[in-house]
Structure formats: structure tokens, C-alpha cells
Amino acid sequence: MPTVLLCITGMQDAEDERRVEAALQARPGVFGAVANHEEGCAEVDCDDDEVTVDDLIGAVEAAGFHATLAG
């Protein structure tokens, strides 16, 4: 189970963190997600056989934020 780190722009508060986490956790293959608006990132535990980085980025963007793969 890999952990993917996403850089996310547009999060302003804890409510935004919850929206990002919910969007990510709704994807099949995602076991957990923790977002942090102060650091501008989200850590996602997922099954890379079921979900791609592009799927994760798409979920974040559908929630109204911009995401890129960290690193």
C-alpha cells in the first residue's frame, strides 16, 4: 500500500481539509487521506492497482482545488 503525497493549492481552513479528504476517500482503492491546509498537502494511502495519481488529482480538482504530485 503506497502513500502518495499531493501538493494542493486553494485550501484555506479545516473545512477545506475535510472536503479534500472526503473527495479522495470516495475513490475506490483509497484507504485513507489526511489533508493539511497549512502545509498545502495531502497524504493518501491507496492501492496503486486500483487508483492512479491522475485519479487522485482529478478527485481533488473536482472538489474545487488544484493538485500536483509532490516531489
Give tens-digit pLDDT for 38-71: 999 999 999 999 999 999 999 999 999 999 999 8
Cα–Cα distances (Å) from 68 to 47, 57, 59, in that order, read: 18, 7, 12
Fold of 3-69: Alpha-Beta Plaits (3.30.70)
pLDDT of residue 1: 67
Query: Could you tell me the pTM of the whole model?
Result: 0.95
Average pLDDT over residues 5-30: 98
Residue ranges of domains in the chain: 3-69
Q: Which of 15, 6, 17, 4 is CA-nearest to residue 67?
A: 6
By percentage, how much of the chain surpasses pLDDT 70?
Answer: 99
- Report whether pLDDT(2) > 80: yes
The torsion angle over the Cα atoms of residues 47, 67, 58 and 12, rounded to 10 degrees, is 110
Rounded Cα gap, residues 70 and 44, in angstroms: 12
Helical spans, DSSP H, in the chain: 14-25, 53-62
